[in-house]
């Protein structure tokens, strides 16, 4: 522990010397000074924990020092020294924030006690502050599990960007937690008390999306029976989460860009401009830059969104977090189902950790849910995996979704897992047939080379077909 630093300010040399001797003997670091101005300079420039200040000094009044400290160095604990037992002086000083007072003459014991009390109090306060900060940190990322260095770095980045109004672009494969991170950014921003409104750009037709974003006026189109506010208006003062931004129609992209740049927009069918103050967080699982190169995403909008890009790595690139996530969801689903499942056997944990999780955390969550529902024993072991975990397909085909969100999530998983596997094999087969020559493989299947290599990138395939095939690990047929 850092040693405690004390400054004694008193114009009487004997008091300074006396305090110094007693306090040095207690193991404190002690400086003394006989004028107010010098003392104040020392306090403002140094890192003192406690100051003993005489109220009656030749140059400035002790109260002045006290007030300056409260303003600029509130962490210094002040014990005032009052002459001729002037109680009023002491009361006044305590009201101004002094921690305690000693009236002269005071004894050794009194001095030691007052200083110890101040130090103990300061220590408790510091400890409290530290605990409170830890609590804030925990709650802000409370529901995001991750201790992998890449994820910890993301937490740091998010802490920095959250309080600003900057646009954030979250990139990452499906199920990596983009929406979760978007919510954490909102929760840690000054907009936290206001709305967080997500809009999934892939679920709306272009014409509907425009009205969803900007609203419409009565009569704007068939079915527009009354004025309706859009997300830009509803999220005023809050955060607007633009999910799957790669699916935005080109015609809307221009309007969105304008709204982002001017904070102004026009509802469909209206000639009046409205204003709105929204912070935009966008998410995508596609490579927007490639889309810009291909002409399917506006370059200006890309740069407007790409102010602060955050890349969430896929789960297979942070395997050390897999056991943590498995246990996190195990606890959740055990509680939900009322089952007392203690954990995973070592070999089950090994298999689950080695698996590639193409649907990332969402797939892992659904898998654990299924394993828990079907579990008969207290330990999820290798046998329960072989019986209940179908790695080649999504593990929840027999589950009927109960909400639209669940339905969408299953659709996404099906696409990613089933179709994703087929797409990957399709590329590998072509590459294998053409001995890794991308141009010829693309021609063979009737694709543009650029599209073919973009797909390869999506599946993390290299041109060497043998290497690519090996990457599949033990779960591929
Ligand atoms: N690090 C994590 N800790 C705990 N839960 C997580 C984590 N990452 C993701 N999840 C959970 O996984 C599920 C999928 O996350 P989320 O919806 O945020 O992913 P996404 O990247 O938006 O996916 P998509 O691209 O498919 O929309 C959610 O239930 C989320 O709570
Ligand atoms: Mg999402």
Give the mean pLDDT of the chain: 86
Query: Of all atoms in ligand 1, which is nearest to the CA of residue 172?
Result: 21
What is the β-pairing status of strands 279-284 and 239-243?
parallel
Q: Is the CB of 211 under 6 A from ligand 1?
A: no
CA of 435 to the centre of ligand 2 (A): 37
Question: Considering only CA atoms, which of 465, 434, 462, 466 is closest in space to residue 447?
Answer: 434
Find the ligand nearest to 358 CA.
1
Q: Is the CB of 177 under 6 A from ligand 1?
A: yes
Residue 11 confidence (pLDDT): 93
Report yes or no: 380 and 371 within 8 Å, Cβ to Cβ: yes
Q: Which residues contact 397 (CB under 8 A, 6 or more apart)?
A: 414
Return the higher-pLDDT residue of 207 and 342. 342
CA distance 325 to 330: 8
Q: Is the CB of 175 under 6 A from ligand 1?
A: yes
Residue 49 confidence (pLDDT): 93
Coil, helix or strand at residue 239: strand
* pLDDT tens readout for residues 74-132: 889 999 998 766 677 778 888 888 999 998 889 999 999 999 999 988 888 877 776 66
Instruction: Label residue 223 by pLDDT band (50, 70, 90).
Output: confident
Is the pLDDT score of 2 beyond 80?
no
Is the pLDDT score of 318 beyond 50?
yes
Residues in the chain, overall count: 477
CA distance 477 to 472: 9
Average pLDDT over residues 309-317: 96
Weakest-pLDDT range from 49-58, 62-71, 277-286, 407-416: 407-416
Question: Considering only CA atoms, which of 198, 334, 160, 176 is closest in space to residue 278?
Answer: 198
Is the pLDDT score of 399 beyond 90?
no
CA of 435 to the centre of ligand 1 (A): 37
CA of 329 to the centre of ligand 1 (A): 12
CA distance 173 to 412: 11
Q: Is the CB of 161 under 6 A from ligand 1?
A: no
Q: Is the CB of 281 under 6 A from ligand 1?
A: no
Average pLDDT over residues 65-72: 90
Beta strands in 69-150 (DSSP E): 77-82, 100-103
Instruction: Label residue 43 by pLDDT band (50, 70, 90).
Output: very high
- Mutational test site, ligand 1, from 148, 175, 331, 363, max ligand atoms within 8 Å of CB: 175
Is the pLDDT score of 155 beyond 90?
yes
pTM for the structure as a whole = 0.59
């Amino acid at each position: 522990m850092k040693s405690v630093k004390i400054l004694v300010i008193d114009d009487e040399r004997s008091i300074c010397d006396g305090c110094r001797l007693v306090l040095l003997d207690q193991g404190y670091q002690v400086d003394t000074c006989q004028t107010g101005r010098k003392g104040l300079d020392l306090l403002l420039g140094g890192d003192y924990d406690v100051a003993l200040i005489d109220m009656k000094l030749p140059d400035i009044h002790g109260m002045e020092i006290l007030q300056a400290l409260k303003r600029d160095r509130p962490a210094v604990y002040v014990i005032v020294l009052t002459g001729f037992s002037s109680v009023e002086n002491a009361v006044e000083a305590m009201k101004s924030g002094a921690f305690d007072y000693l009236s002269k003459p005071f004894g050794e014991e009194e001095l030691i006690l007052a200083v110890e009390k101040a130090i103990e109090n300061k220590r408790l306060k510091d400890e409290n502050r530290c605990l409170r900060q830890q609590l804030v940190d925990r709650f802000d990322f409370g529901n995001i599990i991750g201790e992998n260095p890449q994820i910890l770095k993301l937490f740091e980045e998010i802490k920095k960007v959250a309080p600003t109004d900057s646009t954030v672009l979250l990139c990452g494969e499906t199920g990596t937690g983009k929406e979760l991170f978007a919510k954490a950014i909102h929760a840690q921003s000054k907009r936290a008390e206001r709305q967080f409104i997500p809009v999934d750009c892939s679920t709306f037709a272009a014409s509907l999306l425009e009205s969803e974003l900007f609203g419409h006026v009565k009569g704007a189109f068939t079915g527009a029976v009354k004025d309706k506010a859009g997300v830009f208006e509803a999220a005023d003062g809050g955060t607007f989460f633009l999910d799957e931004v790669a699916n935005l129609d080109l015609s809307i992209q221009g309007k969105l860009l304008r709204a982002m740049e001017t904070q102004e927009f026009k509802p469909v069918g209206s000639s009046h401009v409205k204003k709105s103050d929204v912070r935009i967080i966008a998410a995508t699982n596609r490579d927007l830059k490639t889309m810009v190169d291909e002409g399917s995403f506006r370059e200006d909008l890309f740069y407007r969104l790409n102010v602060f890009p955050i890349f969430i790595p896929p789960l297979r690139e942070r395997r050390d977090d897999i056991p943590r996530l498995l246990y996190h969801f195990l606890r959740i689903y055990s509680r939900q189902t009322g089952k007392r499942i203690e954990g995973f056997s070592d070999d089950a944990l090994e298999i689950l950790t080695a698996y590639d999780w193409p649907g990332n955390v969402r797939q892992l969550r659904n898998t654990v849910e299924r394993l828990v529902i079907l579990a008969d024993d207290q330990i999820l072991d290798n046998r329960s995996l072989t019986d209940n975990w179908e790695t080649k397909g999504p593990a929840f085909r027999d589950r009927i979704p109960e909400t639209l969100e669940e339905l969408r999530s299953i659709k996404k998983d099906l696409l990613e897992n089933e179709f994703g596997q087929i797409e990957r094999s399709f590329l590998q087969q072509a590459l294998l047939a053409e001995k890794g020559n991308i141009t010829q493989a693309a021609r063979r299947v009737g694709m543009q080379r650029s599209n073919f290599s973009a797909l390869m990138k999506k599946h993390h395939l290299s041109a060497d077909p043998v290497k690519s095939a090996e990457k599949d690990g033990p779960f591929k047929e």
